[in-house]
Structure 1
Amino acid sequence: MQPTGDLRGDAVHVGGDARQRFYDSRGYGRPLEGNAIALSRVEAAHLLFRGDLAGVTLDANGGGSGAGDTVGFERFFVDSAAAVERFAVRYLVYADLRDRGFYLSPARDPWPGGDADVADAVDLVAYERGATPDTGTVHYAIRVVGEREAVPASGLAGQTLAVVDEESDITYFGVDRPAIDGATDYEPPADVRGVLLSDRVVVWDAPDGLYERGFYGQPLTGRAAAVEGVLQLSLLEAASLAADDRLGLDEVVETGDGAAESESDTTAAIVARGRAVEGDRFDRRLATYRDLRDRDAVPKTGFKFGADFRTYLDVETVESLPHSEHLVRVVEPGHAFAPRELSLDVRLAGGVRKQLLFALTDGTGPIEWLSVGRLTP
């Protein structure tokens, strides 16, 4: 004979031997006095679905039709979906992780249960396999979203996104703070001279090593070239070198819009040109570029991959260049992920065997780094 529960507010109370039956042995709910437990709605629904609860008596004080009735899974599920925001998608994820062998606790009001120290936006915490809520370490802090919901990027590190699509399939993404530890040992010379053109800087007599060892720029070459040593720098590369007092300008070629016309120093002239051709996005990308260089990593354009940068952590020479390790997208601190676009970015990065990174920056303050990848719990 299976027990029944009583819905009281947002929790289902179960008496009898419920503590031993559900909490101690399988990690459902939270203990009350004696052997009683309180279940969240999602936990109660899962036990009803499995046949481990005979029914739930709806809150007699809750009002509405059916108050005081004892109902099964179907009616309880519909009642809960009406009473609790996004109940259906949370239930789907809860049930999926239970089927994968995890003990879980709800972590967001009004789902009582679990006292893990997680962000307010986290819906569920899954414990290490074989561990219970009172003894276990949290393995996944899970945030449940539908495929059409926007997800703020800031503060997402350490969470697992469980995205429920329109057909109720679930895709899991792990979000972490990446370790970007480069080992490129190259110091550019201090006497690089160039000419600022429309959207790049040309160095006519590039010093040895600037490209081959530092991987700055792109050589201007050809089969029948009679001119050697010409290097084209992107505005980001040029601005970074100028800010480090490694690059000076011999000439500024005006573009007709007055960009850089009034700038007297090299860095300001290049940054002004960058803003003229790219807007505020240039400052965010420049801050990210310089942060990566400060970490002894080499950022290069990620245009072919639909990203801002691809990175090389350890460049000895261009001739022995390793595969790039990361794809980097630069976004504003207030950026919100669209799950469909995030899935596309992650799929692309995985397809070319790179880790997907996001740099959250306004171009002036510290950068918040995130790595995002598919995972299978």
Structure 2
Amino acid sequence: MQPDGELRGDGVHVGGDARQRFYDSGGYGRPLGGNAISLTPLEAAHLLFRGDLGAVTVGGEALGFEAFFVHAAAAGDRFAVRFLVYSDLRDRGFYLSPTREGWPGHNRLAGTNADFIVYERGASPPDGDVAHRLRVVGERESIPAAEIDGTTLAIVDEESDLTYFETRTADPTGETDYGPPTDLPGVLLEDRVVVWDAPTDLYDRGFYGRPLSGRAATIDGALQLSLLEAAFLAERGALRLDETLALAGAAGDAERSDGVGTDGTGGGASGADEADDEGSDDAEGAADAIRRRGRAVEGDRFDRRLRVYADLRERAIVPKTGFKFGADFRTYLHVETVEDLPHSEHLVRVIEPDHAFVPRELSLDVRLAGGVRKRMVFALTDASSIDYRSVARITP
């Protein structure tokens, strides 16, 4: 015969041999005096579901699993989705402690937003090794980006399927040993910079830009740089803008901005009002001109992406566009030559620190990264700091 429980306040009291039967052997509840224990409603529902608890008395009425489940769910606190995750992990052989004051292991959750401590298989509360600090999230809830830091997310979709994501703080470092040359002359175009006579190793070893080449090409050494690459090089004194060619290009822009494009149609302005500034033999002036052009074509997002690009380069990591993967960057930790280029290891998406994910967005990013054998990294970026968060799908 199975023991019964009684709801007392916010816990379910179980007497008899409950301590040996449930706490010592299964990690359920918290000990009271003698052999009695107190269960959370979630734990009590799971024991009812398994048939290990006979009933729970609520207000003088003995409730079986169905009635008690409805009663507990009516009290809120995402009971239904938390029950699904709790049951799934119990079925996988894990002991769990709920995050409730006074329950085993509660003090090991300081600073997290977890719902459960999940112990390593074979370990039990309160002192066993921790496998996951687990946070349960429904498909329609939001997840602040700043909070995906060391917790495991258990996302419950509308059909009650579960997906688990491991999150952690990342500190990416690379081993690319390349210092660009100085005083490279470049020409600022609409949304990129061309270096007409770039040294070979700028691309081959530093993996900057993309050669302007083709079967019928009549020139050698021309390299197209993105605005991010050009701004980074200019900020470090490696790139200047050729004033003569830049002003000539700006004059052409001004002519088109008067209303006549090169095809005879109305032309859009492309920075003609900056013509006096965009040609500069000075690296600092070049960097400023390129940054202003970046903001003109991309808005404030350009500055955030530039901060992350520069930080990755300073970490000896080579960032390249992640456009094909729906990300800001793909990254290479160790580049010796482009001819012997390894696979990129990460996809990086730049977001603001107050960004909040919807689970579908997070799932899409992580699934795509995993599908191309990369790990998803989010760079939380504001004017003064960059924090990296790494996310990957796991099976507990």
TM-score by length of 2: 0.89
SS of the equivalent of 1:370 reads strand
1:83-137 residue CA offsets vs partner (Å, 9 max, x unmatched): 132100000000000000000011157x955322344521111001111112202
2:82 aligned to which of 79, 90, 94: 90
Q: CA 1:354/1:132 → structure 2, altered by over 3 Å: closer, same or farther?
A: same
1:114 aligns with 2:134: no
Tell me, which stretches of 5 or more residues in structure 1 are unaligned?
Answer: 59-66
The match for 1:283 is 303
Taking the TM superposition and a 5 Å limit, the aligned residue runs for 1:256-335 are: 256=271, 258-259=273-274, 261-262=276-277, 265-335=285-355
Q: CA 1:72/1:286 → structure 2, altered by over 3 Å: closer, same or farther?
A: same
Quick check: 2:113–2:147 contact (8 Å CA) kept in 1?
no
The match for 2:393 is 374
- One-letter amino acid matched to 1:26: G
CA-CA distance at 1:257 after TM superposition: 5.4
SS of the equivalent of 2:82 reads helix
1:283 and 1:152 mapped to 2: Cα distance?
22
1:348 aligns with 2:368: yes
SS of the equivalent of 2:202 reads coil
1:40-85 residue CA offsets vs partner (Å, 9 max, x unmatched): 1110000011111111111xxxxxxxx3211111111001101132
2:277 and 2:185 mapped to 1: Cα distance?
20
Quick check: 1:108–1:121 contact (8 Å CA) kept in 2?
no
Q: CA 1:221/1:312 → structure 2, altered by over 3 Å: closer, same or farther?
A: same
The match for 1:63 is none
1:8 and 1:332 mapped to 2: Cα distance?
45
Taking the TM superposition and a 5 Å limit, the aligned residue runs for 1:1-377 are: 1-58=1-58, 67-107=59-99, 112-115=103-106, 116-251=108-243, 252=246, 253-254=249-250, 255-256=270-271, 258-259=273-274, 261-262=276-277, 265-362=285-382, 364-377=383-396
1:120 and 1:239 mapped to 2: Cα distance?
38
SS of the equivalent of 2:77 reads coil
Q: Over the residues paired in the alignment, what is the CA RMSD in angstroms?
A: 1.6
2:357 and 2:384 mapped to 1: Cα distance?
21
1:133-167 residue CA offsets vs partner (Å, 9 max, x unmatched): 12202110111011111111103121111010111
- One-letter amino acid matched to 1:114: G
1:369 and 1:81 mapped to 2: Cα distance?
37
1:261 and 1:143 mapped to 2: Cα distance?
55
SS of the equivalent of 1:7 reads strand
The match for 2:257 is none
The match for 1:62 is none
TM-score by length of 1: 0.94
SS of the equivalent of 2:117 reads strand
1:272 and 1:235 mapped to 2: Cα distance?
10
Quick check: 2:350–2:380 contact (8 Å CA) kept in 1?
yes
2:182 and 2:112 mapped to 1: Cα distance?
50
2:367 and 2:274 mapped to 1: Cα distance?
39
CA-CA distance at 1:179 after TM superposition: 4.1
- One-letter amino acid matched to 1:206: A
Quick check: 1:309–1:329 contact (8 Å CA) kept in 2?
yes
2:40 and 2:188 mapped to 1: Cα distance?
64
1:327 and 1:134 mapped to 2: Cα distance?
38
1:313 and 1:19 mapped to 2: Cα distance?
53
Quick check: 1:6–1:14 contact (8 Å CA) kept in 2?
yes
Tell me, which stretches of 5 or more residues in structure 2 are unaligned?
Answer: 251-269
Q: CA 1:68/1:119 → structure 2, altered by over 3 Å: closer, same or farther?
A: farther
- One-letter amino acid matched to 2:105: G
SS of the equivalent of 1:134 reads coil
1:257 and 1:91 mapped to 2: Cα distance?
62
Quick check: 1:260–1:268 contact (8 Å CA) kept in 2?
no
- One-letter amino acid matched to 2:97: S
- Matched length: 367
- One-letter amino acid matched to 1:44: A
2:299 and 2:277 mapped to 1: Cα distance?
18
1:338 and 1:190 mapped to 2: Cα distance?
45
Identity of aligned residues (%): 67
Which piece of structure 1 moves more, 257-266 or 115-124?
257-266
Runs of at least 4 residues off by over 4 Å: 259-264
